[in-house]
A and B are shown apart, each in its own frame.
Chain A
Amino acid sequence: MQPAAPEPTPSAFASLARISKSFGGVQALREVSLNLRRGEIHCLVGENGCGKSTLIKILAGVHSPDTGEIGIGNGRHARLRPGDAMRLGIQVIFQDFSLFPNLTVAENIALPSHLENRRRFIRPRHAIRIAAQTLDTLGVGLDLARPVSTLSVARQQLVAIARALPHATRLLVMDEPTAALTHREIERLFQIVRTLKNQGVGILLVSHKIPEIFALADRITVLRNGEVARTGPASEFTPVTLVEAMTGRTPSGRTVPTGPARAHTTPRLRVDRLACRDRLADITFEVQPGEIVGLTGRLGSGRTALAQALFGLLNIDHGRIWVNGKPLEPKHPQAALAASLAYVPEDRLREGLFLAQPVGHNLIAGLLPSLGGRLGWISPRQIRDPSTHWVQRLRIRTPDVASPVDHLSGGNQQKVVLARWLACSVNVLILNRPTAGVDVAAKAEIHQHLREWTARGMSILLISDDLPELLELSHRLLLFHDGRIVAELPADALDADALTARLEAL
């Protein structure tokens, strides 16, 4: 069954041979070899922290490998520099986008190709032409003159993708390119990826989304703990064997379904005719204790605006809010927190965590008002004990509660944010794409925790584009469009295809 035939080298555009890399004693990659062929979509998968991003950064010339060799075309390199990768035809879409927030959409897209062509002077109109053409192929309409910092995360991701396209690309590397995108944009991106593949471009794709991997991949390489756990044609994998290879264990069968919501009590959250300038209009709904309500819709449909409005990050023009029957005027996040309503934003790295601070400090941040003793002193034990408790409870993989959060992998960072609010036992938790960029195993764990906590009476508003996740977790779905709720759908009467159809029809 194992095709042991050596790879026909002529078609391999890039090959990584026995690459090792360590950071401060931590072995990120150990003897990893990878062949990337023209016209082939190669998926690189593995749990958070398995070394995927390091491997990509080596290809991009950001990191240099300790040992090993990079072969591009006919050349052999011990390391690449950022300019080299691009000149050799490698384009990388980074997980953090690597955009210039202060520059316009047009310049963000055009500058790299200017650099590639070694231009010395630029004409603004020329940049706009390049950008407009690229966005056209992507089928996306964006205001070219807007600074990137004013765009939503999803639009920024589109700009990052667009930036990689106007080049004589021979290898396109994408690190979780769909993490912030909605269904429609993902479909469009896949079409483009397939077109590029047919034009002979090699593609290396990092993804956590199993359906996405099987929809696109010709070949799959699984990394585990910095080593190649398995590699082969996609046809040799099934979703089960893939997860097995990633985690090193067989996935446990069925997940526990979400428990029933308790009706006929005071609603946890009641919102009546809420409106915010041009972002939200006439939003009315209730959430019962123990209920998970999914919020979905296209980009800018108002789902994130609602979360921000409830948490006091957006000024409300009119409408009323009650939490546990008590009126809430969310002028400020403090007011929302005092009413036991918390929000975990989409961009956990920039908005949800103190990255350079230890895990423990991040965990207890929500508890601080209740912790301080006389004169506001907090003893180290008051930090250590509750944080150790939560690290164990949510099985956060960290060497120590004193390690900085930015040393953790994405899934574990997300658990830290969750634990912070669980520790304060909030009544209403709003989660914005809680499992974006989180690997399957960690995702299943996070889902499990959410179910457990709703069984105890917590209510959750779940914003997501992950349709299986929405359907699996939610009791009901609220469909947003143009700042309004256009439909309320019971989750058990829907499947992913029906929901996709509903979203497409908007």
Chain B
Amino acid sequence: MNPPAHKPRAPVPHELILAALILGLALFIGLLNPAFFSRAHLYDLIKGSTVMGLFALGVLLVMISGGIDISFTSIAVFAMYVTSRGLVAVEYQGTVLVAFVISAAIGLALGGLNALFVAGFGLPTLIVTLGTAGLIRGLLLAFIGTEILNQLPAGYARFSRLTWFEHTLPGGDTVGLSPIFLVFLLAAAAVALLLRYTMVGRGIYALGGNPSAAERVGFNVPALRLVVFGLAGGLAGLAGLAHATMMRNANPFDLVGMELMVLAAVVLGGAGIFGGRGTVTGTILGVLLLVLLNNSLILLGIPTYWQRVFVGLILLVATGISAHRENA
């Protein structure tokens, strides 16, 4: 008989829109200020995305599982500061890799604490992570210390001076890409593989989509929550230490306050605010777009407090779009 008019068109992938936005923004700023495309600046951008990117991967996991995490900056600063202080105390001279491992392990344990409250007592993730954020940071400042450590183990400095793709500028300075970015790339690849090809990863999506069905079908929901919050904590630990090596100091007042930026980047990257949706590619693009925007505001000479306004707006608009799509 009369066939229906046409099939509904498949929507444009979110990642493509983001990539186009990033490209457009880069071209626009590059035209206004050619310094944008200098190698030094591009390397800076990549380096600047690393800490945020590591945080974002953890937040992505939590958001896919249907929760929200705001304790990651506290976990990061705790893990970073305790690790650095400890290594200074024992006068450790070896490779920075050990520091990364210790910091990640501390983060993992603190993330496990989140999981304990969420899975064990069935509390909402927002409240739990708000509570642990205050608890962890308070304990850090009260018992571990408040002074900024400027004399870090030698491994930190060796690592931060390391550069690849070196290039000598006409003025005689050399610029290069910091291998810190590699930490992020490896973590992103691991999270992407976990989410896509393992039952644990698919279980995290299932949990975010329908928690009671996940349990009925036989997923071990408490174990999944432990993986999610544990990994988010571990990634925060890495982010904290990456930050310390880049800053060449360990500041117990750093990092906290970045939550807004990271959440905005993850939501911008297409993670569903009601759980069950999100990709690593989208998250990386979301981070890049946000770092780019922040950076370009500086390049364009716009006062820094406007950055917060823009980031807040982005968070609202991106969540609005996300909510709209899920209701459609």
Contacts and interface: CB of A to CB of B under 8 A. Distances in A.
Interface of A: 60-62, 82-83, 86, 92, 94, 98-103, 107, 111-112, 114-116, 119-123, 277-279, 281, 481-484, 486
B202 A279 contact: no
B205 A103 contact: yes
A275 to B, nearest CB: 9
Given A103-B205, A103-B209, A278-B5, A82 B199 contact: no
7 contacts: A60-B216, A94-B216, A100-B206, A100-B276, A111-B206, A121-B197, A122-B197
B3 A482 contact: yes
A120 B4 contact: no
Contacts of B309: none
B218 A107 contact: no
A120 B3 contact: no
Nearest to A84: B218
A309 to B, nearest CB: 15
B166 interface: no
Complex A-B, nearest 5 residue pairs according to Cβ-Cβ distance, in ascending order: A102-B276, A98-B213, A100-B209, A102-B209, A278-B4
Nearest to A60: B216
Interface of B: 1-8, 197-200, 202, 205-206, 208-210, 212-220, 272, 275-277
A120 B198 contact: yes
**Most A Cβ at <10 Å: residue of B198, B206, B214, B276:** B206
A111 B199 CA distance: 8
Given A121-B197, A278-B7, A481-B1, A112 B217 contact: yes
**Most B Cβ at <10 Å: residue of A100, A107, A281, A481:** A100
A101 B272 CA distance: 13
Contact of B212 (A92, A98, A115, A116): A98
A386 to B, nearest CB: 31
Contacts of B272: 102
A83 B6 CA distance: 44
A481 B4 CA distance: 10
Contacts of A100: 205-206, 209-210, 213-214, 276
Contacts of A121: 197-199
**Most A Cβ at <10 Å: residue of B2, B3, B7, B218:** B218
Given A86-B218, A100-B206, A101-B209, A115 B199 contact: yes
Contacts of B212: 98
Contacts of B8: 278
A86 B214 CA distance: 13
Contact of B202 (A98, A107, A486): A107
Nearest to B274: A102
Nearest to A94: B216
A100 B208 CA distance: 9
Given A107-B202, A114-B199, A120-B199, A101 B210 contact: yes
A482 B209 contact: no
B209 to A, nearest CB: 4
A481 B3 CA distance: 10
Contacts of A486: 1
Contact of B210 (A99, A116, A281, A482): A99
Contact of A101 (B4, B5, B276): B276
B4 A119 contact: no
Nearest to B212: A98
Nearest to A98: B213
A82 B197 CA distance: 24
Contacts of A99: 210, 213
A279 B2 CA distance: 12
**Most A Cβ at <10 Å: residue of B5, B200, B275:** B5
Contact of A83 (B199, B206, B209, B218): B218
B205 to A, nearest CB: 6
Nearest to B272: A102
A481 B1 CA distance: 9
Contacts of A61: 216
